[in-house]
Chain A
Amino acid sequence: MSRLTKVSGSLLAILMIAMTQLQVSGVAAVPIELLSLDSAVIRASSNAALFILADPGPANLGVTNPRPPNVAYATLSDWTATGFVYGMCLNMPQVMVLDSSASYVDQSDGRLKVSQMPVVAFGGPAVHAVVNYYEKGRFTPLYFHYDQVAGQYQFRRSSDGTVVYGLLTSQVTENYDVLMVEAFTDSSGNTIFICYGIGFKGTYAMGKLLKSRIGPNISLYTYSWYIYIWRDLNGDGFPDLNEISADPVAYGS
């Protein structure tokens, strides 16, 4: 009996490791073309698209909601970026909720409770429960990584860990940021769109870019992820459209 228990325990451990590896490998997610933002979200029927805002915390919200492990409260500038896409939608209203809504998001880990929905989740993994869930599970095409040894912020490919773009942490300032957008489907059939910068200005800039440059030419965006740079050319601290790199510094599927 005790031997059987021991074996079962080993099997269980092996199974758990296998499941973890399965989760880490992210096999259940499929990168899709960014251009699908148009059909999935911009042209979505009323109440068909789900916009998930990162909880801004009790000081802003007036309500204290629990956060999944390692997820902090967001700044409200992330909401501005989301608004650019919400504003582009042709059919109103759409569903807008917080990532702390237990009806839509599993509060223990950030997993979505919906299926077959287009979902917009803007904000980095450190502040957005849903983004955190997808990146931690390596379901996203890219994930953010802080490489302490190299002193770099990096975007890595979830499939193999390859660094697709990295920059020294000292490069990211009030006047310089990196911004990323990506699209994929999850195992529940949700079509997910994530964007964020390393700083809040990058997230804001990505929202503006989606509206002003990507949106009008959306059919050209046939890859699943794109990375851009914002450099504050006039030094006013405000991300102007012409300060965002004309071409992505990296892209892929």
Chain B
Amino acid sequence: MRLLAVVAVVLVFGTATVGVSGFPQLSVSIFTNSSSYNPGEGVTLYGYVRDTAGSPVPYATVSIQVNDPIGSPLHLVYLNSYADGSYSGTFNLPMSAGNGMYTVYVTAYKYQWNPSSSLARFSVPRITLYSLQSRTFGAAPNTVYFIYPDYEHAQYKLPGVGLAALSDWSAMGMLYGMCSNVQNDGMDTNGNLVDLSSGSPVFSEKSVVVMGGRGVHNVVYYYEDRRLAPLYFSYDASTYYLKKKDGSTAGSISIPELTGLHKDMFVLEAFTDLKGNTVLIAYGITWKGTFAAGLYLKSVIAPNLAGYSHAWYVFRWDDLNGDGMIDLNEISQVASGD
């Protein structure tokens, strides 16, 4: 029976891209309620089935297959989308679940519609800011890479990534200074550290620390563009956002608020990438938020790191005394999650 299910899923995925002309196209998304889990924890899978115009498609069949890090099927399930196009399901990871990146494949299909496929990923074990104590700040010598955004070699930046300002470097020293041992560093345009065609680090099973937004940092761009980071930057005509993978808002700040450089919003997030690297991303919408991220991490979070059991945190800085300088009592937490 299990074998038949595997075959059925493989067949579904194998035909997912084959459309029948004249039939409308489905569009399916899939998310997990966390970017990482520990063995034995429950995993919630959810998403939406829509048409190409974004309208919900009810009662579509949704097949989901979760593969473990070596590609073996771990969980198979069939669900139906509700009237609003949504679907969800939960399963428990086995206690024997190994460390690494798990992939969730989904295919939605419906009679006289062309099917659609998508995927999501999560990692084992759970990664939180607290994980950085051992994986980054207390890591063995030369196992952590501090990657600065380059400010002068535009030819090595990815499309959509511009030159950084030196202000984007302002807080990196604080994080490097926290390390127990001597670590590596370099710029995001260094081909020995970063694949310059994608922005992905070239190494694996290490730690990465990056500061600066996706607009100036090849590596941050890569992690956000691939939706590997728990949060990503977005904006519209009036507001800057930090959004979760499913598009919901984790934090926002109106563009007029940033005028004058007396307010900002910043993110601190930890996760595992596809190469098994433990990643810390920190940045603000402006350089002050980025500096505030480093200052707050060192001054407030690090002394109480065990209390930071989530993967991501969003903070605001409001310049209460109007001096333009970031003071610790001017920083407040907005949201957190996994």
B187 at the interface (CB under 8 A from A): yes
Q: Is the CB of B172 within 8 A of A83?
A: yes
- The answer to whether B324 touches A63, judged by C-beta atoms less than 8 angstroms apart, is yes
Supposing A84-B176, A211-B176, A237-B152 touch, asked if A97 and B166 sit within 8 A by C-beta, the answer is no
* A61→B167 CA distance, assembly (Å): 11
Partner of A87, one of B170, B173, B190, B303: B173
A241 to B: closest C-beta gap in Å: 7
Q: How far is the CA of A93 from the CA of B148 in the complex (A)?
A: 25
Contact B291 A79 (CB under 8 A): yes
Nearest neighbor of A85 in chain B, beta-carbon distance: B177
Among the listed A98, A216, A236, A241, which residue makes an inter-chain contact with B187, where contact means beta carbons less than 8 Å apart?
A236
Among B152, B178, B300, max chain A CB count under 10 A is at B178
Q: Which residues of the partner chain A approach B287 to less than 8 Å between Cβ atoms?
A: 60, 76
The answer to whether A63 and B177 touch across the interface, beta carbons within 8 angstroms, is no
Q: Is the CB of B299 within 8 A of A93?
A: yes
Residues of chain B lying within 8 A (CB to CB) of residue A79:
170-171, 173, 291
**Complex Cα distance A27/B52, Å?**
79
CB contacts (< 8 Å) of A208 on chain B: these are 173, 176, 185
Interface contact B322-A86, CB-CB below 8 Å: no
Taking CB atoms, residues of chain A closer than 8 Å to B322 are 63
Q: What total of chain A residues lie within 8 Å of the partner, measured CB to CB?
A: 39
Task: Give chain B residues whose Cβ lies under 8 Å from the Cβ of A253.
Answer: none
Inter-chain contacts of A98 with B (CB < 8 A): 323-325
List which B300-328 residues lie within 8 A (CB) of chain A.
Answer: 300, 302-303, 322-325, 328
- Within the complex, the shortest CB–CB distance from A60 to chain B, in Å, comes to 6
**B256 smallest CB distance to A (angstroms):** 14
Check A61–B324 contact: CB distance below 8 A.
Answer: yes
Chain A residues, Cβ within 8 Å of B266: none
Q: A2 to nearest B CB, angstroms?
A: 51
Band of interface residues on B: 35 or more
CB distance from B177 to the nearest CB of A (A): 2
Partner of B323, one of A63, A77, A81, A88: A63
Q: Is B190 in contact with A84, judged by CB distance below 8 angstroms?
A: no
A238 in contact (CB, < 8 A): yes
| Residues in A neighbouring B172, C-beta threshold 8 A | 80, 83
Given the complex, which residues of B lie within 8 Å of A87, measured CB to CB? 173-179, 298
| B-chain residues with CB within 8 Å of residue A60 when the two chains form the complex | 167, 261, 287
- Smallest distance from the beta carbon of B252 to chain A beta carbons, Å? 21
Task: Please indicate which of the listed interface residues B153, B170, B185 has the most CB atoms of chain A within 10 Å of its own CB.
Answer: B170
Within 8 A of A (CB), among B148-181: 148, 152-153, 165-167, 169-179
In the complex, are the beta carbons of A86 and B177 less than 8 A apart?
Answer: yes
Task: Answer yes or no: A188 CB below 8 A from chain B CBs.
Answer: no
Q: Is B276 an interface residue (CB 8 A)?
A: no
Interface presence of B262 (CB below 8 A): yes
| Chain A residues closer than 8 Å to B185, beta-carbon distance | 208, 238, 240
CA distance A238 to B156 in the complex (A): 14
Does A82 have its Cβ within 8 Å of any Cβ on chain B?
yes
Residue pair A61, B261 in contact (C-beta under 8 Å): yes
Task: Tell me the residues in window 266-297 of chain B with beta carbons closer than 8 Å to chain A beta carbons.
Answer: 287, 291, 294-295
User: Which residues of the other chain, A, contact B294 by a CB distance below 8 angstroms?
Assistant: 83
A200 at the B interface (CB under 8 A): yes
Expressed in whole angstroms, the minimum distance between the Cβ of A43 and any Cβ of chain B is 14
**A212, CB-defined interface residue at 8 Å:** yes
Contact of A77 among B166, B262, B298 (CB under 8 A): B166
| B331: min CB distance to chain A, Å | 11
Residue of A nearest to B261 (CB): A62
Q: A61-B261, A76-B169, A83-B172 are in contact. List 8 more A-B contacts (CB 8 A).
A: A62-B324, A63-B323, A76-B170, A79-B171, A84-B173, A87-B177, A92-B303, A208-B176
List, sorted by A's number, 5 A–B pairs whose CB atoms are closer than 8 Å.
Answer: A62-B324, A92-B303, A93-B328, A236-B187, A238-B187
Residues in B lying within 8 Å of A, measured CB to CB = 148, 152-153, 165-167, 169-179, 182, 185-187, 189-190, 260-262, 287, 291, 294-295, 298-300, 302-303, 322-325, 328
Which A residues fall within an 8 A CB radius of B? 56, 60-63, 75-77, 79-89, 92-94, 96-98, 101, 200, 204, 207-208, 211-213, 216, 236-238, 240-241
